Structure 1
Amino acid sequence: MSTTSSIRHQIPFPERDPEELLTLSEAADILRVPINTLRWWRQTGKGPDFFKIGRHLVTTVGDLRRYIREQRRHNHS
């Protein structure tokens, strides 16, 4: 793991830059769900927004935060 990556993972999620890119694996870790669950949600249009950079699926910290807020709001309705 690179030094930049190590430092980034020490920053708590709420304090991260909203434009920071997250891999599928990193998003799964934050949401505490298996990677395949995120893949299924993406396929069915139910999960957080992901986009491709080259061959890699990524999302942003801001998009993941928005998804979490939407889920919280939906579950409290």
Structure 2
Amino acid sequence: MAVISFLLAILLGGTAFLFKQAASQISVGTSWAGEICSTSQMFCHHPEYLAYAGFGLMTVAIGTKLSNLSR
């Protein structure tokens, strides 16, 4: 459970970074940024939502690992 949560947290963090970079490049007119932002306008304008979810999953992963170590 901890490993899956950790991997999903890393994935969400990477996705948040991708949307943040796409949002900054959309004004330049980069084609890949337009394609990324067309998939989800909400995440393009607010990539921190994905980062918050990643932080929550990282907290779950650390808590799960610590509870397994204490047994």
Same fold, judged at TM 0.5 (above): no
Instruction: Give 1 or 2: higher strand fraction.
Output: 1
Instruction: State the TM-score, normalized to the length of structure 1.
Output: 0.29
Higher-Rg member (1/2): 2
Instruction: State the TM-score, normalized to the length of structure 2.
Output: 0.31
